[in-house]
Amino acid sequence: MKVLEGDKVKGETFLLVRWQAAQPDEEPEGFEAMLCRHHREAIWLRHAIVTGCGQFGDSCDLCEGRPLMRA
């Protein structure tokens, strides 16, 4: 939830990001999800290329238990 305080927005920021992941014997697949800071960092630590899509959201797909979308 975001709370306006003066000119600043306080609260969690949810961003749409894309990345590629693959098992050792498979071709990479693209995924995209709206993620909180904690989950963006977790994805970034596991996958070398994580790209922001320039879109903001209201909640985190992983925190809410929603499935990842294929990009």
Q: What span, in angstroms and rounded, lies between the C-alpha atoms of 13 and 46?
A: 21
* Residue that has been written with the tokens 């994580």 in this structure: 50
Q: What span, in angstroms and rounded, lies between the C-alpha atoms of 36 and 11?
A: 11
In a domain, 3, yes or no: no
Count of structural domains, the chain: 1
Q: Tell me: pLDDT of 59 over 90.
A: yes
In a domain, 6, yes or no: no
In a domain, 18, yes or no: yes
In a domain, 4, yes or no: no
In a domain, 8, yes or no: no
- The 10s digit of each residue's pLDDT in 6-36 is 545 457 899 999 999 877 788 888 999 999 9
